Chain A
Amino acid sequence: QKEVEQNSGPLSVPEGAIASLNCTYSDRGSQSFFWYRQYSGKSPELIMSIYSNGDKEDGRFTAQLNKASQYVSLLIRDSQPSDSATYLCAVTDSNDYKLSFGAGTTVTVRA
């Protein structure tokens, strides 16, 4: 089973600040990387997918991938109270449709 590790939370940030979430993975063959957001009592919803090294931006979210370091991160700029949730990092490879999830990092944005 692929190992996916996320920095342990909870992470508390003031409104308007940048929240930085980190994820490392063990399988060098991993090809697809995802960040999901999960509100309490709800199912995960996709925020970002990234497949190539570098940065990918979508609104206030930026995903960063470094395959050599086996590292993927998520930055949330101008954090809002509505960003308070658990963020799950997930990884898979092109030969295996199964996602391996990290345990998640809970983010709290203080108003």
Chain B
Amino acid sequence: DVKVTQSSRYLVKRTGEKVFLECVQDMDHENMFWYRQDPGLGLRLIYFSYDVKMKEKGDIPEGYSVSREKKERFSLILESASTNQTSMYLCASSFAGQKYDTQYFGPGTRLTVL
């Protein structure tokens, strides 16, 4: 059974704080992803990684950075949190290659920035 876990279900931070969101998968997946989900805007890709130490920008990378030092772990960093980063953050992982590329999601972290 695929398991993707995220470090926190709920997080409250103050404007300007540095925020770390962690994601761990136990299926030896090559690919890992960070999304945010907002009402009316759907799921939007922030960053993804297809290998250790590799990363690519998604559709909305501004204000975020990522780190992937180990295959199973992918971190999302908000360098200086702002109120417009209040959102649900979802991590996902998948194998590489068609027909093996189903993405499996973690439970999500609801971040509130005050």
User: How far is it, in angstroms, between the C-alpha of A7 and the C-alpha of B59 when the chains are bound?
Assistant: 23
Q: Is the CB of A97 within 8 A of B104?
A: no
Contacts of A103 in B (CB 8 A): 40-42
For chain A, what secondary structure do more than half of its interface residues adopt (helix, strand, loop), or is it mixed?
Answer: strand
User: How far is it, in angstroms, between the C-alpha of A104 and the C-alpha of B43 when the chains are bound?
Assistant: 9
User: How far is it, in angstroms, between the C-alpha of A51 and the C-alpha of B107 when the chains are bound?
Assistant: 26
User: How far is it, in angstroms, between the C-alpha of A101 and the C-alpha of B42 when the chains are bound?
Assistant: 7
Counting contact residues on chain B (CB < 8 A from A), the size range is 20 to 34
Query: What sequence of 0s and 1s flags, for each residue 78-92 of chain A, a beta carbon within 8 Å of any chain B beta carbon?
Result: 000000000010101
Q: Is the CB of A31 within 8 A of B45?
A: no
Query: Which residues 30-52 in A have Cβ within 8 Å of B in the complex?
Result: 31-32, 34, 36, 42-46, 49, 51
User: How far is it, in angstroms, between the C-alpha of A92 and the C-alpha of B99 when the chains are bound?
Assistant: 11
* Contacts known (A43-B108, A103-B42); A97 close to B50, Cβ less than 8 A: yes
Q: Is the CB of A98 within 8 A of B50?
A: no
Q: Is the CB of B42 within 8 A of A104?
A: yes
Contacts of B105 in A (CB 8 A): 36, 43-45
Is there a chain B Cβ closer than 8 Å to A94's Cβ?
yes
* Contacts known (A43-B90, A44-B90, A49-B102); A99 close to B45, Cβ less than 8 A: yes
A binding-site residues for B, Cβ under 8 Å: 1, 31-32, 34, 36, 42-46, 49, 51, 88, 90, 92, 94, 97-99, 101-104
B binding-site residues for A, Cβ under 8 Å: 31, 33, 40-43, 45, 48, 50, 58-59, 90, 94, 96-99, 101-108
